[in-house]
Amino acid sequence: MTSATRFDRWCVQQLLGSLVAGGAMSALTFRLTFGDIASVPVWGWRNLAFDALPQSFMGAVMGVLVPALVARRTFAGRPASSSGAPPIQLHRVNHIIARALLAGIAALPVGYGIWAGGLWFATVSGLPFDHALLLKTAYGGVLSMLFTGCLLRDLRRSFPT
């Protein structure tokens, strides 16, 4: 198995892990935020649309931060192949943290725009708890996976073939 194949398998593992972790974190924070109410309000204080802001920030930050730190630990200083290729170039930890925070900030208007726009377009005032939980869990997982994918694409560019 070539080192590129191992790296690709590692990327798939990171994407799936990000999907599951992002969804699980979203489900947990949703449950803590809304408790066990029958209908989750869409607008107003402690609402579904406003909840998209911290969820978008958290999903993007974790989707970049965790895989980048795992990659740093896994690949730092190791040659990309047994042929003596130069080591994979990975960023310093402070650069990784800054990149994760920037991803979180970038996700704020996008995430809120998706939720607020979609809920406004649907013209609903509330969603049943289980439907809202399913939507927020799926959104958190997919958002985290998308940001992880962007990070892995950048890592792939620096990975010698």
**Residue 109 lies inside a defined structural domain of this protein:** yes
Supply 101's token pair.
Answer: 């925070």
In angstroms, what CA-CA distances link 157 with 9, 55, 68, 141, 145? 16, 29, 14, 24, 18
Tell me 128's DSSP state. E
**Residue 13 lies inside a defined structural domain of this protein:** no
In angstroms, what CA-CA distances link 151 with 73, 103, 121, 156? 15, 10, 32, 9
Supply 87's token pair.
Answer: 């080591």
Query: Which pLDDT does position 85 carry in this prediction?
Result: 46
**Residue 129 lies inside a defined structural domain of this protein:** yes
Query: Per the structure, how many domains does the chain have?
Result: 1
**Residue 132 lies inside a defined structural domain of this protein:** yes
CA distance 83 to 78: 12
Helix, strand, or coil (residue 44) = coil
Range of the domain at 134: 40-79+92-161
CA distance 66 to 62: 6
**Residue 14 lies inside a defined structural domain of this protein:** no
User: For residues 101 and 143, is the Cβ–Cβ distance under 8 A?
Assistant: no
Supply 139's token pair.
Answer: 């959104």
pLDDT tens track of the chain, all 161 residues?
Answer: 566 677 788 888 889 999 999 999 989 988 888 887 888 888 776 787 788 888 889 889 998 888 888 887 777 665 555 544 444 556 677 788 888 899 899 998 888 888 878 878 878 788 888 888 998 899 889 989 988 888 888 777 766 55
User: For residues 46 and 34, is the Cβ–Cβ distance under 8 A?
Assistant: yes
User: For residues 132 and 40, is the Cβ–Cβ distance under 8 A?
Assistant: yes
**Residue 149 lies inside a defined structural domain of this protein:** yes
Quick one: CA torsion of 103, 148, 94, 82, rounded to 10 degrees?
-150
